[in-house]
């Protein structure tokens, strides 16, 4: 697998893909399985990358790939309905078409992490861009040291990929926490950084962090407090992306364009920007 796959679908205009399957994940969140309507070229991507999905007549949005990178026959995207375009996508049914451009952007450093321990921290829908990485790590389990997944959600009912989390917990350490819960919840209660205090961070660890920016900020600082170097902490940034090619400047983040230089950054590259309110 390449560390960052180059686009295999046209990048300046959307290519139609057919919705093969829709999986309702949460009331406002769903997963599309897409197959190309025209060409049958394999779609190669690296975990952490994203596509631009076009809801015809409504617009385009950047959505991370959340499927298995080894399965090059279809595209898996997990989407949260947070606005007009994603609302239009949620209304689509099996057999309908969406436009796809991509894949774009940088990816999780899975090649560079070979032989090292991997700590994954996800919050809310941030688990989706990390799921591809988890598939990859599990498929290549012997090439990594300890693998841990710490996942936080607002409440137990908002947990994404609950069945898979259960399955993964048989193979790697999975810690779950919710901000609040009813008494029948057997996971932890509190924000995801609380799980760090219960887990010893072993040396030679690379951390992959994805979730809302405020959650990534807290996690990154907590990881540094545990002794990780900023260069070993990776975050996936989100900004308003339009062209996805690094041309339009809409996703500018300090000296970077998130669509082109990101979305995955090592924390040492963005730590300074994390501290600036206006960025």
Partner 1 sequence: MVKIRHINDLLAEAPLFEGMEPEQLAILAGCGKLAHFRPGEFLLKEGEEANQFFLIRHGEVALESHLPGGVLTVAKAGEENVVGYSWLFPPYRNQFDARATTDVDAIVLDGECLRGKTHKDHELGYQFMKRFAALMLQRMQAARRQLLDIYGQPNPENS
Question: Per CB under 8 A, does 80 bind partner 1?
Answer: yes
Helix or strand run (H / E) with residue 166: helix 162-168
State yes or no: residue 158 binds partner 1 (CB under 8 A): yes
CA torsion 10-208-205-270 (nearest 10°) is 90
Site membership for partner 1, residue 82 (CB under 8 A) = yes
Could you say whether residue 215 binds partner 1 (CB under 8 A)?
yes
Given candidates 36, 102, 128, 238, which one binds partner 1 under the rule CB under 8 A?
238
Which structure tokens are listed for 204? 């030679």
Helix or strand (DSSP H, E) at 148: strand 147-153
Q: Which of 57, 115, 183, 203 binds partner 1 (CB under 8 A)?
A: 183
Interaction pattern, residues 33-72, with partner 1; x per rule: CB under 8 A: ----------------------------xx----------
Q: Are 110 and 143 in contact, with CB atoms under 8 Å apart?
A: no
Interaction of residue 249 with partner 1, rule CB under 8 A: no
Minimum Å distance from CB 218 to partner 1? Answer: 6
CB of 111 to partner 1, least distance (A): 28
CA-CA distance, 137 to 142, in Å (whole number)?
Answer: 9
* Least gap, CB of 38 to partner 1 (angstroms): 27
| Rounded distance between C-alpha atoms, residue 177 and residue 194, angstroms | 8
The candidate with the shortest Cα–Cα distance to 236, out of 249, 253, 255, is: 253
Report the distance separating Cα 109 and Cα 111, nearest Å.
6
188 near partner 1 (CB under 8 A): yes
Contact positions toward partner 1, by CB under 8 A? 61-62, 80, 82-86, 123-125, 152-154, 158, 179-183, 185-186, 188-191, 193-194, 198, 211-215, 218, 238-241
């Amino acid at each position: 697998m390449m560390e960052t796959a180059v686009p295999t679908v046209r990048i300046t205009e959307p290519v139609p893909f057919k919705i093969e399957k829709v999986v309702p994940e949460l009331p406002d969140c769903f997963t599309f399985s897409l197959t190309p309507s025209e060409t049958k070229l394999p779609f190669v991507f690296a975990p952490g990358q994203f596509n631009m999905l076009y809801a015809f007549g409504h617009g385009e949005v950047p959505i991370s790939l959340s499927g298995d990178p080894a399965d090059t026959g279809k595209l898996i995207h997990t989407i949260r309905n947070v606005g007009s375009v994603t609302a239009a996508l949620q209304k689509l049914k099996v057999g309908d078409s969406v436009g796809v451009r991509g894949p774009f952007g940088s990816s999780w450093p899975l090649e560079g992490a070979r032989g090292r321990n991997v700590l994954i921290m996800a919050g809310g829908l941030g688990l989706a861009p990390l799921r591809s990485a988890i598939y990859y790590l599990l498929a290549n389990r012997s090439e990594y040291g300890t693998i841990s997944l710490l996942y936080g959600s607002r409440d137990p009912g908002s947990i994404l990929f609950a069945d898979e989390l259960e399955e993964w917990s048989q193979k790697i350490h999975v810690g779950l926490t919710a901000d609040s819960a009813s008494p029948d919840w057997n996971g932890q209660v509190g924000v995801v950084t609380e799980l760090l205090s219960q887990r010893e961070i072993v040396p030679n660890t690379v951390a992959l962090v994805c979730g809302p920016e405020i959650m990534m900020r807290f996690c990154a600082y907590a990881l540094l407090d545990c002794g990780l170097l900023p260069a070993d902490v990776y975050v996936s940034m989100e900004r308003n992306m339009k062209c996805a090619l690094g041309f339009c400047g809409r996703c500018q983040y300090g000296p970077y364009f998130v669509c082109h230089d990101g979305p995955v950054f090592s924390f040492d590259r963005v730590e300074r920007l994390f501290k600036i309110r206006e960025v």
